[in-house]
């Protein structure tokens, strides 16, 4: 199935229409989640197929990352049904790649990027890696090759042998995407991967994720609070607000009508000359949490 | 008994090793250096040096209490170091390596350390203020090491290294990247407990050798020097253990011929290694920058 999607990549920009997977990677039906007895969101319907790129949007504090936790099986759904790769969440760990919310490696961390990627492949194994095993073990050689291959895929070969603490934010993020991809997952769960990157790096990493999604036939679910860097790549979005959710193509969901209905208060979606979407009038309450990051003035006014 | 240092090195070594206590000291030194290197490399990587230091400090009242009660000091080191490691492990949050988790742990560790020092003072007082071993407990006494001590040290080291061999890769994952490790089914909290216990046992061993206050000579300095030299985990471990062995061997010889405390000699040599590694990285960085400029 993966390979079908790969061949379709050029001809099917939006959804792999034919020959793709009959079996969806991800199905949520009327799903809801509660944390500490408080209902965070409900009424989420979503189907994601191989090679599709879906974003989870909404104001901060609404529980977007919680959605990833539900898909990983770390948190139960409070209502509705959730199926991941044909199983209940948490039942198919190896086939899911997960990139947690932005984590910066300490500048003094003296471990190479390639080691961090490799831990994504074998870090949960018992024992220790033996030196010179590559000379005796075919499996070890195959693993070494896979690590190098996935690093090349994300374009990180030039700095993968440097200590990861010395890499820039964008370089670290590419290496972490390689780490999430190294086991050839069928589903990639990304939690704010563009967060705290500068604009050129946001564009670069977004394009990279899109390319991987199409080339490798991986389904991507990405939590984002700014849709603009990925807007042109998305097959579908899920927009979550306190109490409700809407899903569908971005052009249908991120509209004045849908968001006004969702928020229950007049909201206007404006399109800037460069195609960027700006949501005006949405409840601002916790939305400016994003000020925990420095130097991100560009994000103000963009869709949160 | 000490004929003094001559430039006939082979005779020097032969003379030194004709004394059973020196042979035991060298045996213990090898065991301790290997163990401290492996565990210390992870401790530096996980930034749990403060925990390591405090656990070591709790070894001092442990040894004092054991001697006061007529037991072996080794028993006191192990009992108190493992006990304090367990307390820190069970009361700290999460995997112990996140920023908030470390902040929480640091206050906890300080509490344990303060209590330990107070207990040390108490046991000294109980002993009548005349515990001749105080200096040995704090700064190490290599001539006090017996055959039995070497056996105990070796057995504990084998056990600890077996645990490290079983958990090594998972521990590295949980240390470097706890969030993803947890998602992959590695229990970062359990890893923290396991590692702190391993650290407790290792610190007790090293304390026996260098004294409670100078455990870092073998636990931190070789690892910190190695991390200056390489970012490769396996190579880093090999360099750490090699530095540990070298400074122990030369430190013992220096202590023997120079009539110095091992704590002082080993620490000085390890510090020299760290300085050299730091300087090498500095120079290599400058050279790389100059080459990059020239290109």
Place of tokens 């008994």: B1
Burial class (CB in 10 A: 0-12, 13-18, 19+), A140: middle
Instruction: Check CB contact under 8 Å for A123 and B230.
Output: no
Å from B259 to nearest chain A CA?
38
Q: Are strands A219-223 and A53-57 parallel, antiparallel or unpaired?
A: parallel
Would you call B165 an interface residue with chain A, using a CB distance cutoff of 8 Å? yes
Question: Is the separation of the CB atoms in A188 and A221 below 8 Å?
Answer: yes
Q: Using CB atoms and an 8 Å cut-off, which of residues 210-229 of chain B contact chain A?
A: 227-228
Would you call A134 an interface residue with chain B, using a CB distance cutoff of 8 Å? no
Instruction: Check CB contact under 8 Å for A100 and B231.
Output: no
Question: Is the separation of the CB atoms in A256 and A89 below 8 Å?
Answer: no
B189: left (phi > 0), else alpha (psi -120 to 50), else beta?
alpha
Confidence of residue B142 (pLDDT cuts 50, 70, 90): confident
Instruction: Check CB contact under 8 Å for B166 and A127.
Output: yes
Would you call B236 an interface residue with chain A, using a CB distance cutoff of 8 Å? yes
Instruction: Report the number of distinct structural domains present in chain B.
Output: 1
Q: Take residue A135 and report the two structure tokens written for it.
A: 């000379």
Residue B3 inside a domain? The answer is: no
Q: Is A280 helix (H, G, I), strand (E, B) or coil?
A: strand
Would you call B282 an interface residue with chain A, using a CB distance cutoff of 8 Å? no
Judge: domain A2-263, CATH 3.40.630.30.
no
Residue B73 inside a domain? The answer is: yes
Would you call B177 an interface residue with chain A, using a CB distance cutoff of 8 Å? yes
**Which of B184, B227, B235 would you mutate first to test chain A, the one with the most A CBs within 10 A?**
B184
Looking at residue A27, what is its pLDDT?
A: 93
Residue B247 inside a domain? The answer is: yes
Q: What is the mean pLDDT of chain B?
A: 88
Instruction: Check CB contact under 8 Å for A123 and B231.
Output: no
A201 Cβ partners below 8 Å, 6+ apart? A168, A169, A170, A173, A194
List pLDDT tens digits, range B149-176: 899 999 999 999 999 999 999 999 999 9
ipTM for the predicted complex: 0.86
- B85 lies in which domain range? 9-294
A97: left (phi > 0), else alpha (psi -120 to 50), else beta?
beta
Q: Take residue A90 and report the two structure tokens written for it.
A: 């948490």
Question: Is the separation of the CB atoms in A61 and A223 below 8 Å?
Answer: no
The DSSP H or E segment spanning A257 is helix A256-263
Question: Is the separation of the CB atoms in A218 and A185 below 8 Å?
Answer: yes
B50 Cβ partners below 8 Å, 6+ apart? B106, B109
Would you call A121 an interface residue with chain B, using a CB distance cutoff of 8 Å? no
Q: Please state the rounded mean pLDDT for residues B196-204.
A: 95
Q: Measure the CA angle with vertex A219, ends A192 and A173; round to 5°.
A: 35
**For B160-191, b where at least 16 C-beta lie within 10 A, e where not — what string?**
bbebbeebbbbbbbbbbbbbbbbbbebebbeb
Looking at residue A15, what is its pLDDT?
A: 43
Chain B positions touching A98 (Cβ under 8 A) are 180, 183
Place of tokens 């490696």: A105
Would you call A98 an interface residue with chain B, using a CB distance cutoff of 8 Å? yes
Chain A positions touching B166 (Cβ under 8 A) are 126-127
Task: Kindly state the greatest CA–CA separation across chain B.
Answer: 71
Cα dihedral A55, A58, A59, A62 sign: negative
Find the residue in A nearest to B172 (Cα).
A123
What is the C-alpha R_g of chain A? Answer: 20
Q: Which one, of A77, A52, A53, lies nearest residue A63 by Cα?
A: A77
A182: left (phi > 0), else alpha (psi -120 to 50), else beta?
alpha
Looking at residue B98, what is its pLDDT?
A: 76
Confidence of residue B287 (pLDDT cuts 50, 70, 90): confident
Cα dihedral B244, B246, B251, B253 sign: positive
CB pairs under 8 A between A and B: 87
Question: Is the separation of the CB atoms in B133 and B171 below 8 Å?
Answer: no
Instruction: Select from A93, A109, A129 the Cβ nearest to the Cβ of B234.
Output: A129
Report d(CA B202, CA A80) in Å as an integer: 51
Confidence of residue B8 (pLDDT cuts 50, 70, 90): confident
Instruction: Check CB contact under 8 Å for B176 and A111.
Output: yes
The CATH number of residue B247's host domain is 1.10.3470.10
Question: Is the separation of the CB atoms in A258 and A238 below 8 Å?
Answer: no
Q: Is B18 helix (H, G, I), strand (E, B) or coil?
A: coil
Q: Are strands A277-280 and A268-271 parallel, antiparallel or unpaired?
A: antiparallel
B96: left (phi > 0), else alpha (psi -120 to 50), else beta?
left
Q: Measure the CA angle with vertex B23, ends B22 and B25; round to 5°.
A: 60
Would you call A179 an interface residue with chain B, using a CB distance cutoff of 8 Å? yes
| Average pLDDT per 10 consecutive residues for chain A, totaling 304 residues | 39 43 83 87 91 91 88 89 89 85 81 94 87 80 93 94 91 93 94 88 93 93 91 92 86 88 86 84 50 39 42
Q: Take residue B244 and report the two structure tokens written for it.
A: 């540990």
Instruction: Check CB contact under 8 Å for B169 and A93.
Output: no
Instruction: Check CB contact under 8 Å for B170 and A125.
Output: yes
Burial class (CB in 10 A: 0-12, 13-18, 19+), B14: exposed
Spell out where B48-87 has E strands.
none
Asked which of B29-38, B169-178, B281-290 is least confident by mean pLDDT, the reply is B281-290
Chain A positions touching B236 (Cβ under 8 A) are 110
Angle between helices A169-181 and A138-153 (to 10 degrees): 140
Would you call A19 an interface residue with chain B, using a CB distance cutoff of 8 Å? no
Looking at residue A137, what is its pLDDT?
A: 84
Looking at residue B131, what is its pLDDT?
A: 60
Would you call A119 an interface residue with chain B, using a CB distance cutoff of 8 Å? yes
Confidence of residue B132 (pLDDT cuts 50, 70, 90): low
Residue B116 inside a domain? The answer is: yes
Question: Is the separation of the CB atoms in B261 and B138 below 8 Å?
Answer: no
Would you call A74 an interface residue with chain B, using a CB distance cutoff of 8 Å? yes
**Angstrom distances, CA of residue B80 to CA of A9, B56, B86, B285:** 63, 9, 10, 43
Looking at residue B169, what is its pLDDT?
A: 94
Would you call A172 an interface residue with chain B, using a CB distance cutoff of 8 Å? no
Instruction: Check CB contact under 8 Å for B186 and A123.
Output: yes
Instruction: Select from B167, B184, B232 the Cβ nearest to the Cβ of A112.
Output: B232
Would you call A109 an interface residue with chain B, using a CB distance cutoff of 8 Å? yes
Looking at residue B238, what is its pLDDT?
A: 95
Report d(CA A83, CA A95) in Å as an integer: 13
Report d(CA A98, CA B218) in Å as an integer: 38
Looking at residue A60, what is its pLDDT?
A: 82
| Direct distance between the N- and C-terminal alpha carbons of chain B, in angstroms, rounded to an integer | 62
Distance of CA B266 to the CA centre of its chain: 12
Residue B2 inside a domain? The answer is: no
Q: Please state the rounded mean pLDDT for residues B89-115.
A: 85
Would you call B173 an interface residue with chain A, using a CB distance cutoff of 8 Å? yes
Would you call A163 an interface residue with chain B, using a CB distance cutoff of 8 Å? yes
Task: Kindly state the greatest CA–CA separation across chain A.
Answer: 67
Instruction: Check CB contact under 8 Å for A111 and B180.
Output: no
The DSSP H or E segment spanning A269 is strand A268-271
**Angstrom distances, CA of residue B73 to CA of B131, B142, B198:** 12, 13, 19
Find the residue in B nearest to A111 (Cα).
B231
């Amino acid at each position: 199935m993966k390979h079908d999607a790969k061949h379709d990549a050029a001809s099917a920009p939006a959804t792999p229409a034919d020959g793709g997977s009959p079996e969806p990677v991800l199905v949520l039906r009327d799903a809801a989640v509660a944390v500490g007895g408080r209902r965070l969101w409900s009424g989420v319907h979503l189907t994601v197929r191989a090679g599709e790129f879906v974003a989870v949007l909404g104001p901060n504090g609404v529980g977007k990352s919680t959605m990833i936790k539900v898909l990983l099986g770390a948190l139960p759904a409070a209502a509705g049904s959730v199926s991941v790769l044909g199983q209940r969440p948490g039942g198919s760990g190896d086939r899911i790649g997960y990139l947690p919310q932005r984590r910066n490696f300490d500048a003094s961390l003296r471990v190479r990027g390639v080691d961090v990627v490799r831990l994504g492949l074998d870090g949960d194994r018992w024992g220790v890696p033996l030196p010179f095993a590559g000379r005796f073990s075919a499996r070890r050689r195959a693993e070494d090759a896979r690590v190098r291959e996935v690093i090349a895929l994300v374009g990180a070969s030039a700095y993968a042998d440097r200590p990861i603490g010395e890499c820039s934010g964008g370089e670290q993020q590419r290496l972490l995407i390689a780490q999430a991809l190294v086991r050839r997952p069928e589903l990639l769960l990304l939690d704010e991967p563009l967060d705290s990157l500068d604009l050129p790096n946001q564009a670069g990493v977004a394009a990279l994720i899109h390319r991987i999604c199409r080339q490798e036939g991986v389904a991507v679910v990405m939590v984002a609070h700014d849709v603009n860097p990925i807007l042109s790549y998305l097959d579908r979005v899920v927009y979550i607000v306190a109490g409700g959710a809407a899903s569908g193509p971005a052009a249908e969901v991120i509209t004045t009508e849908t968001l006004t209905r969702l928020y229950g208060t007049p909201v206007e979606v404006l399109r800037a000359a460069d195609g960027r979407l700006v949501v005006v009038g949405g409840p601002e309450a916790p939305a400016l949490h994003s000020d925990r990051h420095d130097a991100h003035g560009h994000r103000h006014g963009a869709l949160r | 008994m000490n004929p003094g240092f001559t430039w006939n090195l082979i005779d020097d070594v032969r003379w030194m090793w004709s004394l059973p206590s020196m042979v035991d000291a060298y045996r213990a030194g090898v065991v301790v250096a290997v163990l401290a290197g492996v565990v210390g490399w992870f401790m530096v990587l996980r930034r749990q040096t403060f925990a390591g230091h405090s656990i070591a400090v709790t070894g001092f009242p442990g040894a004092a209490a054991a001697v006061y009660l007529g037991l072996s000091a080794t028993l006191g080191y192990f009992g108190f170091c493992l006990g304090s490691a367990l307390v820190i492990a069970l009361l700290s949050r999460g995997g112990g390596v996140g920023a908030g988790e470390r902040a929480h742990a640091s206050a906890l560790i300080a509490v344990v350390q303060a209590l330990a020092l107070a207990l040390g003072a108490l046991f000294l007082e109980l002993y009548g203020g005349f515990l001749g071993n105080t200096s040995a407990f704090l700064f190490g006494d290599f001539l006090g090491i017996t055959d039995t001590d070497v056996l105990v040290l070796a057995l504990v080291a084998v056990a600890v290294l077996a645990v490290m061999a079983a958990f090594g890769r998972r521990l590295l994952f949980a240390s470097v990247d706890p969030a993803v490790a947890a998602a992959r089914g590695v229990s970062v909290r359990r890893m923290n407990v396991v590692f702190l216990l391993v650290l407790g046992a290792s610190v007790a061993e090293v304390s026996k050798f260098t004294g409670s206050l100078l455990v870092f000579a073998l636990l931190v300095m070789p690892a910190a020097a190695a991390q200056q030299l390489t970012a490769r985990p396996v190579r880093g471990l090999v360099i750490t253990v090699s530095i540990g062995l070298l400074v122990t061997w030369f430190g013992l010889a220096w202590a023997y011929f120079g009539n110095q405390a091992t704590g002082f000699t080993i620490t000085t040599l390890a510090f020299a290694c760290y300085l050299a590694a730091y300087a090498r990285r500095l120079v290599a960085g400058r050279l790389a920058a100059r080459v990059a400029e020239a290109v």
